[in-house]
Amino acid sequence: MTGILPIALLEATKIIQALLTAGKEYVCVMKIHSDIPENRIRTILDQFQGRIYQRPPLRASVKRRVRIRRIYYLDVLEIDGRNILFKIGCEAGTYIRKLIHDVGEILGCGAHMHELRRTRAGPFTEDRNLVTLHDIVYLYEEWKESGDDNLIRKFILPMERALDLLPKIYIRDSAVDAICHGAHLTAPGVTSLESDIKRGERVAIFTLKGEAVALAEATANSEEIIEMSHGIVAKNMRVLMPRGTYPKLWRTSRP
């Protein structure tokens, strides 16, 4: 497989769990094992859009139990004899090789994956964010000679970019260090939030300057949070910002 592979460095490794659950997009070449009319191929592939049941393959790193995954879109780009080129957007954890095997079973002739390229992983896309190892070596050597930090920024991005697709809650400066010490976010600390937050889903907590503070699980939806004057609005899952980055403005309870 080729294509997009986000790599986190140093403290940014803490956001990898957010990328693992983010949606993916692939461009794939499927080879079927017999001649099948083009309209039948398109009809069968259309049936794989939406919610599908899938059992991971034998060599998978997870338990082989049937699970549901969502296929957001599956677009046939070209059919050349027994070779079918298509683009697929899917939920994290979807096995494209297994999907192709299942397509071959329904077609009645069998099929296998000939080539696979990941064109999107979460907010990162091939056309905007992809750099090759050769690019990195070249830009690094140029940076060593010139000292121009803009060269490094072409392939090392702020970790906040990895959270672009997560709904966000922005908090007061006075609440930041408490969150960094593992406290849950309460209503008084919220200054603004995005409108698509749902109870139980993962959210990103940001400072007013746009710095990532933590990953959390929302305990209420957007409308409820706006109306809350007290109580927990998001439970801390993973702190991203080092302690002490913002001054301590919270009190510890006395024994």
The per-residue b/e assignment along 27-40, b for 16 or more CB within 10 angstroms, e otherwise, is bbbbbbeeebeeee
pLDDT for res 249: 77
pLDDT reading at 252 higher than 70: no
- Give me the domains of the chain, ranges plus CATH numbers: 2-126 (3.30.2350.10), 131-158 (no CATH), 166-239 (2.30.130.10)
Distance CA 95, CA 58 (A): 11
pLDDT reading at 21 higher than 90: no
Torsion (CA) 13, 18, 21, 24 in degrees, nearest 10: -80
pLDDT band at 250; cut points 50, 70, 90 = low
Distance CA 194, CA 137 (A): 39
- Most confident segment among 3-12, 144-153, 205-214: 205-214
Longest dimension (CA), the chain: 77
The secondary structure of the chain in percent helix, strand, coil, rounded to multiples of 5, reads 30, 30, 40
pLDDT reading at 15 higher than 60: yes
Mean pLDDT of the chain: 92
Average pLDDT over residues 141-165: 91
Tell me the chain's radius of gyration from C-alpha atoms. 23
Distance CA 184, CA 207 (A): 15
CB 16 within 8 A of CB 247: no
pLDDT for res 191: 95
pTM equals: 0.86
Please write the tens of the pLDDT for every residue from 193-249. Answer: 998 899 999 999 999 999 999 999 999 999 999 999 999 999 999 999 999 999 887
pLDDT for res 128: 85
pLDDT reading at 253 higher than 60: no
Distance CA 170, CA 198 (A): 16
Torsion (CA) 72, 74, 75, 78 in degrees, nearest 10: 160
Average pLDDT over residues 108-126: 94
Quick one: what percent of the chain has pLDDT higher than 70?
A: 98
pLDDT for res 251: 66
Closest alpha carbon to 221 in 196, 243, 251: 196
Please write the tens of the pLDDT for every residue from 46-71. Answer: 999 999 999 888 777 778 889 999 99
